[in-house]
Amino acid sequence: MAVHPIEERYGTAEMRAVWSEKNRFSCIVAAEVALAKAEAKAGMIPANDAIIIEKAAKNANLERAKAIEFEINHDMMAIVKAISEVCGDSGRWVHYGATSNDILDTATGLQLAQTLDLLDTKLRKLLSILLRRASETKNLVCIGRTHGQHGVPTTFGLRFAIWASEIGRHIERLEQMRPRVVVGQMTGAVGTQAALGPKGIEVQETMMEYLGIVPVDVSNQVIARDRYAEYFMFCANVATTLDKIGIEIRSLQRTEIGEVEEAFGSKQVGSSTMPHKRNPIKSEQVCGLARIIRSSVEPALGNNTLWDERDLTNSSCERVLFPEASILTDHCLRLMANVLEGLVINKPAIRRNLSFLHGINMAESVMIELTRKGMSRQDAHERVRVASMKALSEGKPLADVLGDDPEVARFCPRDSLVALLNPDSYIGTSVQQVERVISKLNPLAV
């Protein structure tokens, strides 16, 4: 029976595997093997013993380690004993010169490397979908909204391009933070490397080279948690972008707006009591889970404020934070990619909404033209504002109200007003902006 939804309901199999007990154990064993090999290379332990440890450690058993932990109540030492048991006499060198967090934090670095690879792939896939949808809709004019009210026109392509640009920045952030987050250490009980002697720095660098991750420059008993806090803030940032997209889709799928709709299966059920319902449940799920992902930031920041050379308050917290935030972020990326891939765009509804105010939302266009023709910008703003309020209150087209104003007519005759109030002619450089974004970000997409 699943206790947490990430065990069954949320998450991909590949990301759950990264944060599974089995993979955690494998990463710890890999760190111990790399340590032995590095110490052998530095002449600190016999080379033959390191070879035996590398070969035999593959037979170390997670269940045996858990049985030992039940007896001694120390998870890391239990794994050390489980590895040592399968290495015969060479087991005496397992964990030599190390403290628990040298291995545990280094194992976390390996898991984060795997995690970032998965997130990177999904971000690039999502970017590819957004760029394609931006290209498809770059000329699709729709109403722009500010404060939830109709503004001047925009295009669906511009919306997709804005989201794509944000995802592109997340890809850049991921690559920039990778060397700060995917790190390991071998610094000993309080960070001095005293147990390793004068070759401590050499051993640490060689060990991390074997593992393919970056060694810390300096640490105490644990890797400074500002690194991990950056990772959790990254997850929260990605989740918030997905939240933003989800909110827009949900808003545009409202019955009275109806401009987009999540794909709906032929046998899908929208409500247990209202048979007609077609709800944006995937976007809602993303928006809901984004709250959980963002909630990881505060405890992650708190984990950096440990006592002296370290205490244990970060440990229990991180056992929850890492798998939860990683699995949910990965899940939301996959879910939103599916939503955007299948998103239905309702062009008739878009056109209906575009003309909903009978040109009143195009007031800016008239104001700009009046100013260009010679009227004071402030006078033009006030004259068009008054006309717009009258058109709204009386339910008249703006062209009719403005056409009755002799001062407006002096600068813009009625036929010019009709052209100025055409939303299709007032999208500025939006198409060029979309094309520029596509050209810039295509190399990052899958």
Catalytic residues: 147, 271
270 vs 267: CA distance, rounded Å: 10
For residue 289 the two structure tokens come to 């889970």
3-state secondary structure 125-187: HHHHHHHHHHHHCCCCEEEEEECCEEEEEEEHHHHHHHHHHHHHHHHHHHHHHHHHHCEECCC
For residue 218 the two structure tokens come to 């300096």
If we measure between CA atoms, which residue out of 338, 252, 332, 251 comes closest to residue 288? Answer: 332
363 vs 225: CA distance, rounded Å: 53
CA triplet 81, 83, 88: central angle to 5 degrees? Answer: 95
- CB distance 98 to 188 below 8 Å: yes
Q: Residue 426: how many CB atoms within 10 A of its CB?
A: 19
49 vs 92: CA distance, rounded Å: 9
For residue 322 the two structure tokens come to 């890492």
Residue 432: φ, ψ to 5°: -65, -40
Beta-carbon-side half-sphere exposure of residue 272 (alpha carbons within 13 Å): 0
- CB distance 149 to 83 below 8 Å: no
* Amino acid found at 147: H
Residue 120 burial by Cβ neighbours in a 10 Å radius (0-12, 13-18, 19+): middle
Residue 371 burial by Cβ neighbours in a 10 Å radius (0-12, 13-18, 19+): middle
